[in-house]
Amino acid sequence: MSSKRKVTIEDVAKQAGVGIATVSRAINNSGGISEKTKLHILQVIDEMGFVPNTSAQSLKIRQTNQIALAVPDIRNAIIPDIAWSVEQVAKQSDYRVIQINTSGNAKLELDTLRDVKKLHVDGLIIMPLAYPKTMVELINKLNVPVSIINYGKRLTDTVKADIVSLSKLEGNMVMEHLHNIGRTRIAYAGTQKDVIEDRYYAYEHSLQHPVDVSLVYFGEDFSIQTGRSAATYFFSLKNMPDAIYAVNDMVAIGIVNRFKELGVRVPEDVAVVGIDNNLWTTLTTPQISSVSIMGAEVARVATQLLLKRIQENKSGEYERVQLEPRLIVRESSVLISRNISP
Instruction: Give the distance from CA 202 to its chain's centroid.
Output: 19
Residues 132 and 156 in one domain: yes
The answer to whether 171 touches 203, Cβ cutoff 8 Å, is yes
For 260-269, the pLDDT digits (tens) are: 999 999 999 9
**Residue 341 pLDDT class (50, 70, 90 cuts):** very low
For 279-331, the pLDDT digits (tens) are: 999 999 999 999 999 999 999 999 999 999 998 877 778 999 999 999 999 99
Task: Answer whether residue 137 is part of any domain.
Answer: yes
Instruction: Provide the pLDDT for residue 156.
Output: 77
Residues 14 and 80 in one domain: no
Task: Answer whether residue 342 is part of any domain.
Answer: no
Residues 283 and 190 in one domain: yes
Helices (H), the chain: 9-16, 20-28, 35-48, 54-61, 79-92, 106-114, 135-141, 170-180, 197-206, 224-236, 249-262, 295-311
Cα–Cα distances in Å, from 201 out to 105, 173, 283? 20, 13, 29
Q: What is the CATH number of the domain that holds 19?
A: 1.10.260.40
Task: Answer whether residue 2 is part of any domain.
Answer: no
Q: Burial, 319: exposed, middle or buried (Cβ in 10 Å; 0-12, 13-18, 19+)?
A: middle
Of 70, 136, 154, 139, nearest to 108 by C-alpha is 70
Beta strands 320-323; 162-166: pairing state: parallel
Pairwise CA distance, residues 289 & 282, whole Å: 9
Q: Which residues contact 38 (CB under 8 A, 6 or more apart)?
A: 25, 26, 29
Task: Answer whether residue 160 is part of any domain.
Answer: yes
Strand partners, 216: 188
Query: Is residue 184 predicted with pLDDT exceeding 90?
Result: yes
Residues 90 and 127 in one domain: yes
Query: Is residue 340 predicted with pLDDT exceeding 90?
Result: no
Residues 109 and 34 in one domain: no
Domain assignment of residue 38, given as a range: 9-61
Residues 89 and 136 in one domain: yes
Q: How many separate domains does the chain show?
A: 3
Q: Which SS3 state, helix, strand or coil, does residue 327 take?
A: strand
Residues 240 and 149 in one domain: no
Pairwise CA distance, residues 334 & 272, whole Å: 10
Letter for the amino acid at 45? I
Residues 281 and 179 in one domain: yes
Cis ω for the linkage preceding 267 (within 30 of 0): yes
More confident position, 87 or 49: 87
Residues 224 and 305 in one domain: no
Residues 263 and 309 in one domain: no
Q: What is the dihedral of CA 124, 20, 162, 101, to 10 degrees?
A: -10
CB count within 10 Å of CB 43 equals: 11
Pairwise CA distance, residues 336 & 86, whole Å: 40
Task: Answer whether residue 97 is part of any domain.
Answer: yes
Instruction: Provide the pLDDT for residue 130.
Output: 82
Asked which of 52-61, 65-74, 85-94, 269-278 is least confident by mean pLDDT, the reply is 52-61
For 271, the enclosing helix (H) or strand (E) is strand 271-276
Q: What is the CATH number of the domain that holds 75?
A: 3.40.50.2300
Q: Which residues contact 58 (CB under 8 A, 6 or more apart)?
A: none
For 195-229, the pLDDT digits (tens) are: 778 899 999 999 988 999 999 999 988 899 999 99
Task: Answer whether residue 3 is part of any domain.
Answer: no
Task: Answer whether residue 142 is part of any domain.
Answer: yes
Query: Is residue 2 predicted with pLDDT exceeding 60?
Result: no
Q: Which SS3 state, helix, strand or coil, does residue 64 take?
A: coil
**Residue 273 pLDDT class (50, 70, 90 cuts):** very high
Residues 29 and 78 in one domain: no
Sign of CA dihedral 161, 165, 169, 170: negative
Task: Answer whether residue 4 is part of any domain.
Answer: no
Residues 56 and 111 in one domain: no
